[in-house]
Amino acid sequence: MNKTSIKALLGSAAIAAAAVATPAHAGKTLDAIKARGAVVCGVNTGLAGFSAADSQGNWTGLDVDTCRAIAAAVLGDGNKVKWVPLTAQQRFTALQSGEVDILARNTTWTLTRDASLGLSFTGVTYYDGQGFMVPVKAKIKSAKQLKGATVCVQSGTTTEKNLTDFSRANNLNMKPVVFEKQEAATGAYFSGRCIAFTTDASGLASVRNKEAKDPKEHVILPELISKEPLGPVVRRGDDEWFAIAKWVIFGLIEAEEYGITQANVEKMAKESQDPVVMRIVGTSEDTGKLLGLDKDWMVRAIKTTGNYGEIFERNVGPKTPIGLPRGVNELWSKGGIMYAPPVR
């Protein structure tokens, strides 16, 4: 290698090293969010436990809290969110067109969606799987007993495709009855038009609790026929915004792991000497500057929604009407698969 090549190589290395330590520019999406004073969040039109509005227009749910935490991190206030309810068919177009900044709408991460829509999944906030709900009086114990059965399903979803695959693989000749809106699909099921209703297991629990006249008259069958890793999505092309959305979620998961809660986060920011806690709350390292934020970004997020475990328990956990067990969504250190890269 000649001297010119060596100088060029050393110059490139110096530039790369400088880039590592350089604070991030906010990025065009965050600039727009700051200018309007709100994060525009695409959510479900109504799925209790994940994103649903009450009669006063107040939104709650696991997906809703994700957007609130991000708003708190970037704008200092978890209430600075504009909610845009979207159907399954509308959701990706709304994100692609710039109508929303982030889609937090029980959306499954798949190769096709990741590689062909110009979008990036920020992580998994709920590990799910598709199941079936049937009336107790039908005395059906297994999904494989649904041979020739009518099954209500929403179009434009992985659910519809999984149903076809499962039916074909098991030679069941199921008869899908397809609806554009989930409310129509569930209404048809509860009116007796279909023998079964299929969607993600979390959605089945939500629908049974919210829409059944008597939830005890409907049973969720034991089989899960798919993997449904659900998580928020952003547009490609703005790496800064992608990083912010991703790391707020990771921060909420790691906060649970290290015992940082909505109630104690401010106290821990003042008193904790644990090196990991100090990094998360910004007292030893300013990780915020690498994201174009200030050092208190995660303190505000945790103060607004609590850590991941608190978000889960409040919205969908065993003590809620939805009543979902933590299951695989438990931390990796407690037997689950919820795992975040370290905030450092």
- Name the DSSP class of 24: P
Dig out the tokens for 219 from the structure.
């049973």
Burial class from Cβ neighbours inside 10 Å (0-12, 13-18, 19+) for residue 137 reads exposed
Strands 150-154 and 196-200: parallel
Q: Which amino acid, 286?
A: D
User: pLDDT at position 10, please?
Assistant: 47
pLDDT at 73: 98
Q: Which two tokens stand for residue 117?
A: 């829509």
pLDDT of residue 121: 98
The pLDDT value given to residue 20: 47
pLDDT 10s digits, 268-324: 999 999 999 999 999 999 999 999 999 999 999 999 999 999 999 999 999 999 999
d(CA 196, CA 217): 13
- CA 342 to CA 266: how far, in whole Å? 20
Contact 150, 192 (CB under 8 A): no
For residue 101, with 0-12 CB atoms within 10 Å meaning exposed, 13-18 middle and 19 or more buried, which class applies?
A: buried
Domains and CATH numbers, the chain: 28-127+230-334 (3.40.190.10), 130-226 (3.40.190.10)
Strand-pair partners of 103: 42, 233
The CA-to-CA distance between both ends of the chain, in Å, stands at 37
pLDDT at 45: 93
Cβ burial, residue 201 (10 Å; 0-12/13-18/19+):
buried
pLDDT given at position 25: 65
pLDDT given at position 23: 57
pTM equals: 0.89
Instruction: Output the DSSP codes for 128-151.
Output: E-EEEEEEGGG---SGGG-TT-EE
DSSP code of residue 199:
E
Per-residue confidence in pLDDT tens, the chain, 344 aa: 555 444 444 454 444 444 444 556 668 999 999 999 999 999 999 999 999 999 999 999 999 999 999 999 999 999 999 999 999 999 999 999 999 999 999 999 999 999 999 999 999 999 999 999 999 999 999 999 999 999 999 998 899 999 999 999 999 999 999 999 889 999 999 999 999 999 999 999 999 999 999 999 999 999 999 999 999 999 999 999 999 999 999 999 999 999 999 999 999 999 999 999 999 999 999 999 999 999 999 999 999 999 999 999 999 999 999 999 999 999 999 999 999 999 99
User: What pLDDT, on the 0 to 100 scale, is given for residue 282?
Assistant: 96
Tokens of 307: 């850590």
Find the helix packing angle between 297-305 and 62-75, rounded to 10°.
150
Q: Using CA atoms, how far apart are residues 135 and 218, in angstroms rounded to an integer?
A: 4
Contact between 297 and 75 (Cβ < 8 Å): no
